């Protein structure tokens, strides 16, 4: 079980590390960009520094949420 956990964690870590290199999530990264640019001018000071940090993590978290159940299913089955 411990080996399966380590394999699952390694696979998830690899997916997170390779997420910017995969060509499929790049439209997901590019699509929220206009929304960020629209939202930044309204509260310039508060939202400006926060959203660029959150935006790159969004698609990666979606990839983790989508593939993590599959990884753990194969790890524990």
What whole-number distance in Å separates Cα of residue 22 and Cα of residue 2? 29
What's the whole-model pTM score? Answer: 0.25
In a domain, 19, yes or no: yes
Q: Let me know: does 26 contact 63? Beta carbons within 8 Å.
A: no
In a domain, 69, yes or no: yes
Which of 1-33 are b and which e, b meaning 16 or more Cβ less than 10 Å from the residue's Cβ?
eeeeeeebeebbeebeeebeeeeebeeeeeebe
* Span 55-75, average pLDDT: 61
Sign of the CA dihedral with 32 first, then 34, 38, and 41 last: positive
pLDDT tens for residues 11-43?
777 666 655 554 544 444 444 444 444 444 444
Q: What is the CA radius of gyration of the chain?
A: 16
In a domain, 58, yes or no: yes
In a domain, 33, yes or no: no
- Our count of domains for the chain comes to 1
pLDDT tens for residues 41-60?
444 444 444 444 444 555 55
Structural domain for 57, as ranges: 2-27+38-76
């Amino acid at each position: 079980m411990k080996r399966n956990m380590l394999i699952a964690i390694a696979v998830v870590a690899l997916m997170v590390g390779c997420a910017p290199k995969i060509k499929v999530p790049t439209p997901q990264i590019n699509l929220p960009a206009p929304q960020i640019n629209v939202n930044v001018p309204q509260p310039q000071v508060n939202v400006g520094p926060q959203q660029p940090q959150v935006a790159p993590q969004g698609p990666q978290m979606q990839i983790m949420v989508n593939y993590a159940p599959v990884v753990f299913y194969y790890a524990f089955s």
